[in-house]
Structures are given as C-alpha cells and as structure tokens.
Amino acid sequence: MNKNDVDEKFRLWLSTNPHPQFPISILQRCLKITTEPPKGLKANMLRLYTNLPNKEIEGEKMDSQFKPFYKRILFSLCWYHALIIERKRFKTLGWNIIYDFNDSDWDTANNILQIYITQSEEVKLGQTSVMGEQPQVIKQPPWEAIRYLISEVTYGGRVTDEWDRRLLNVYAMEYFNQIVITEEKHRLGNPNSAEYIIPE
C-alpha cells in the first residue's frame, strides 16, 4: 500500500492493554488515552453515578410502581461493582486471581435489573387473621434469578477460581435481596456502622 493512497482524514482507534512488544513507532505518533478506575469506594460510586443520565437514575423507562425499587437496587448494584473493583487493589488478598471487571459488566447487570424488577410478583406476608385483617401484600422481584445472572453469569463469567466465585455469590446474597428495597436506611457493609446506607 502506498502512503499517498491513505486518506488524510483516516483515523484509527485502537484499544489495547500494555504490552512490552507493542510497536514504539505507533506509540510515538498517536494520542494516548488511559482510563483507570478511581481509588476508593466513594470515588467509584461517584464515577458510576456521574456517567448515568438522570432519567436512568430516576427509572424513566419503568412503570411508576417499580421506580422506588429500582433506585434502591441501582445503588446496591453500584456498591457491588465498586466493592469488587476496589478489591483488586489488595492483589491476592482481594482476589485469588486478578480479574478485569469493567463498566460493560456493570451495564449488563443494570440491564438485568431493569428487566427483572418489572417482573416483580405480589407476595402475601402472613395469613388472614381471626379478626379479618388481611395480610400485607408486597412486590417481590425474582431475586434468585437476579443474583444468578449478575454474580454467576455477568461477573462470574470472568471468574475461574472457585473461592472467588463464592465471594461474588456472598456479595450478591447480601446486596440483592428483599431487605434492600424494604428496610429503611439499609446498611451496606458493617451492620453496626451508619456510614454506608442506601439513601432515600
């Protein structure tokens, strides 16, 4: 191919991991953009929320009855993602094998939440009393399916170590359940600390 055959407006976007055999001549002639997740849970949470449009945070696509659920679960998902990203900083103390979890995992998990939250079923708590009081009826999403699709398929698809997979599942059990959407000021992390709670 002749140099004159290349259009002046031609641009190439190349995405790559650092590698010692990457051609130096390409590095010298290009603009380099690097993205690194910010350090700390709070910084990771802020980054995720900053990248989300307000209409998505508000659950604009959803029926109004599911919006409060979605907002709380969205916060829980952001926490889950930030937590597993942050564990990479601790090398083998965080994960037995370092995994490349990224924003595409989070996007997929968010799509799963949006789809499955709307499939919530009405569940009766308790039975009709002797006095004729009716049991409380609540909306309950299919938590088992949500947990499986997020921890085993979306994030777990990258995980090869059995202990790391167990850890992902433990986090999923903790952050994707009915208490997250029903308990006021549900605590994330240390149950005795009021520092990390799901806001209203």
Residue-level pLDDT at 115? 86
pLDDT in tens, 179-198: 888 888 788 876 666 677 88
Angle between helix axes 162-175 and 67-86 (nearest 10 degrees) is 150
Residue-level pLDDT at 184? 82
CA nearest neighbour of 54 among 67, 40, 69, 66:
67
pLDDT in tens, 124-140: 554 554 455 655 556 78
Amino acid at 16: T
Distance CA(185)–CA(72), nearest Å, equals: 10
Listing DSSP states for the chain in one string gives: --GGGS-TT----------TTS-HHHHHTS------PPSSHHHHHHHHHHHS-HHHHTTTTS-TTTHHHHHHHHHHHHHHHHHHHHGGGGGGGT-SS-----HHHHHHHHHHHHHHHTT-EEEEES---TT-PPPEEEEE--HHHHHIIIIIIITGGG---HHHHHHHHHHHHHHSSHHHHHSTT-B-S-TT-SSSB---
Q: What is the pTM of this model?
A: 0.72
CA nearest neighbour of 36 among 93, 80, 100:
100
The residue ranges of the chain whose pLDDT is under 50 are 126, 129-130
